[in-house]
Structure 1
């Protein structure tokens, strides 16, 4: 019985640790950010592909993002080169199963004009770095039958 109690307690503490770390990362994301640069590390050239199945890379450059950590919502405004200005809403959370790794992952769904539970598709990005004033995301996509990494660098406003 003593061993069962110890095992149960250790499982509880482990699960609480991941939740605590995820909440800490979510609080760091809180605020307004500008997507300053989109690049393709380890690839030769530039690919003008759709990011998050929404718009071309050039539309995302200099987009303004806002993260609200207490209800895991946010919005961004696309206002890139020769793109129509559009505002998108999203819900997001940090994947608690990846938060203890060196690159925690964020999952989010674009929810503009609909409830989050009605949206079946979302995106997963790795948070390569998260500092007080800068954040870098990486997303793996398939282009021309090859896996390509899109790297997005944000600066906090």
Structure 2
């Protein structure tokens, strides 16, 4: 009976530790939590002027100055597009997490949810590589292509208090 109990306890500990976040992942999550402003969106790796629709939502110009909020307790948050021009203003709710890519790169991933925290995108979401993350700044990027040519979209945030 004692041997079975020890085996059961070891199995529970092993299961609990396999489901927990790594120390690095917890650090990234903790650093992301809070309020951010998306200062600008830039493009690397290709020349020319770009006008793109980001996250299947609005153009890159509409994202400039957008306010982002990341809550830790239930991994939800939002971003708010400011009014102006062709921008469809308003708040979009998200569920977010940090993904360990496995090659030393961590990613911020998110998908859209409604007010009741239900997925509204059919499980589809977005992943952005975390390039810089500290108390004041966050730089994210994602690789894509334009007319078959590779390009990197860079998102520069600053902490908002």
Question: Normalization by structure 1: what TM-score?
Answer: 0.80
Match of 1:85 in 2: 89
Q: Deviations over 1:72-126 (max 9, x none)?
A: 111000116511311100001111344x71x311211011356038632101100
Match of 1:106 in 2: 108
**Distance in 2, Cα, partners of 1:146 & 1:74:** 33
**Distance in 2, Cα, partners of 1:70 & 1:20:** 17
Moved over 3 A (4+): 14-18
Uncovered stretches (5+) of structure 2, i.e. residues with no partner: 1-13
Displacement, 1:30? Answer: 0.7
Displacement, 1:65? Answer: 0.2
Which of 41-50 and 29-38 deviates more? 41-50
Is 1:148 aligned with 2:151?
Answer: yes
Q: Report the count of equivalent residues.
A: 145
Question: Normalization by structure 2: what TM-score?
Answer: 0.79
Q: Which has the larger radius of gyration?
A: 2
Displacement, 1:53? Answer: 1.1
Secondary structure of 1:44's counterpart equals: coil
**Distance in 2, Cα, partners of 1:94 & 1:56:** 25
Aligned mate of 2:133, from 112, 116, 130: 130
Match of 2:59 in 1: 56
Secondary structure of 1:95's counterpart equals: strand
Q: Deviations over 1:100-156 (max 9, x none)?
A: 71x311211011356038632101100111011000000122222222110000000
Q: What root-mean-square deviation, in Å, do the aligned CA atoms of Structure 1 and Structure 2 show? A: 2.6
